[in-house]
Amino acid sequence: MSDVRNAEERLYTRNGRWWADFRDYSKEGGDREGLVPEGEPWATKDRATAVQIARARLQELQGQRHGNGAVPVRAVRLKAFAPQYLVLKARETNISEASMRRAEQALHNALRGLLDAEDRPIDPFMHQVTPKHVRRLRNYLLNIYESPRTGRPLSSRSVRYATDVLSECYTYAASEGFVPPGYDPVAGLPKRASTRGKWTDFLEIHEAAAVLNMLIQLGDGIDVHVGLNFLAALSGSRKAGGAGLLTREIDRERGLLVFQSNRYRKIKTGHKGHRAVPIWPQFELFMEAYDRMFERPPSGLYLPTIGTDGQETMITSVKARLDAAQEAAAELLDSMGVAHQLRDRRGRARPAAEIVPAADLPPHLRSATVDEIVRTPTYRVREIREEDSDPERVRVEKKERRRRYKRARAQLISGLDEKRVTVQAWRPTYATTRVQTLDGGKPVARTTVAFELGHSSNDMLDRIYARVGNARAPRKEVVEYRLPDGSLPGEAFFRKVLGSARVDEILNDHRFGDGR
């Protein structure tokens, strides 16, 4: 029986488009596959074209089965192997659930960036992916892709993690025989995306105090989301480290927060066993108010949220709360006449068309300000949203306009002179504040600060974390954030819940001297 006849027997239609059944070649990567002509996003509606594509595909599968030496005998498409890789990783490594979720998200980011030379999504066999594909992947994630959570392209750190996970995916694929041993398109790049030497945003003391204050005011009190930000700001913990803090890791007698690996998360510096940070008076205020409102089991999460299964789990996102608090904090500092970088109001008020080509913006946004563009992510722009009724020509046009708008919006966001307030920004904020404290009346040793951050040396502290801010408070024995008028974030709330006498007692704790 000829190849043409075999190909014709495999054809069938789905929603008016031609598909072919190659499941008898599943070991070679065959499956039910849409017959997509080169350069087109959808399977063809023309039967003759479908026969040609099916015949070429069948010949490719037969060549793999008979071992022509061009590709591995067990070729598989990258997107088909991705779930198997995640299963193998979870089974063969001692990885926490939170790290597993991050790896899964990073792999999804990498798969999003698999594009051809015309920026069209592709699903290649693993042995067909080359360094050129990875280079396009990085460019797409760094400059074009728009995260649904932040509305911005991914950071260099996130892109680096995505390519690292993709590289590990190829390591597992080689062990399963899907690619030749040592085959890794990521390793073939001359240089990967790097974050070395890149500063993250940090907050001045009054900026940090304003954000913490507005988190309490907007939430009408405290909850686990406020707690995670207080914890990160007053301990320098990473997001997962704070979200995975157990009640038993809070040593009230010694006045320490002891971060160590547990069933919810692993600390990044796990080789040291743990890291300890003093419980500063401001965080003790939060804990005492929190403990009066929420009773926690001694072995459970201190700041839990409820998952979809109804069980306690770690907090995954506080971005929406932080965005609202950042904007409200900017208004608060404006009303006080204090300079800050929480919002670039002058930059946001500029016409967007003065900065980016007006042709790159949708018609109804061509006279908009930068702020209006920043607040309008791509999925909200109806003119560039694809509809099921759109013909192919319109789909292609909308895709190109959507890409241009993403690039223009990313350029406007990156041009704003304002800080990105995230949970991660609290870590350099804490480090900067801590290096300006006293220890026994003398400046604290940088080695002490490095230990609290979990570092083996002062290198990261000197190179990345410790900054010299424009606003400096008088040196004290404690880490604290105060508003320009001298008040504490949420002071009125804490005095209402705990009483003024108890608040003053905590602030004047003998362990740290006079907190005032």
Query: Is 277 strand, coil or helix?
Result: strand
Q: What are phi and psi of 233, to 5 degrees?
A: -70, -30
Q: pLDDT in tens for each of the 516 residues of the chain?
A: 334 447 888 899 988 899 998 888 776 678 888 998 887 888 999 999 998 898 888 877 776 665 444 445 467 889 999 999 999 888 888 777 778 888 999 999 999 888 887 778 888 888 888 888 888 898 888 878 877 766 678 888 888 899 999 999 999 988 888 887 778 888 867 654 444 444 557 888 999 999 999 999 998 889 999 999 999 999 999 888 898 899 999 998 899 999 888 888 877 665 556 789 999 999 999 999 999 988 877 778 999 988 777 788 888 778 888 989 999 999 999 999 998 999 999 999 999 999 999 999 999 999 999 999 998 888 888 888 878 788 888 888 888 898 899 889 988 988 888 888 889 899 999 988 998 888 888 889 989 988 888 887 888 787 777 776 655 667 888 999 999 999 999 999 999 999 999 999 998 875 554 444
* Residue 299 CB-density burial (10 A; 0-12 exposed, 13-18 middle, 19+ buried): exposed
Query: Is 442 strand, coil or helix?
Result: strand
Neighbour tally for 306: CB within 10 Å: 9
| DSSP per-residue letters across 9-72 | HHEEEETTEEEEE-GGGGGGT--EEE-PPTT-SS--S-HHHHHHHHHHHHHHHHHHHTT-SSS-
**Where in the chain are all domains bearing CATH 1.10.443?**
205-321+425-507
* HSE-CB for 3 with a 13 A CA cutoff: 13
Q: Report the distance separating Cα 399 and Cα 397, nearest Å.
A: 5
Q: Tell me which CATH code domain 205-321+425-507 carries.
A: 1.10.443
Largest CA distance in the chain: 93
* Residue 92 CB-density burial (10 A; 0-12 exposed, 13-18 middle, 19+ buried): exposed
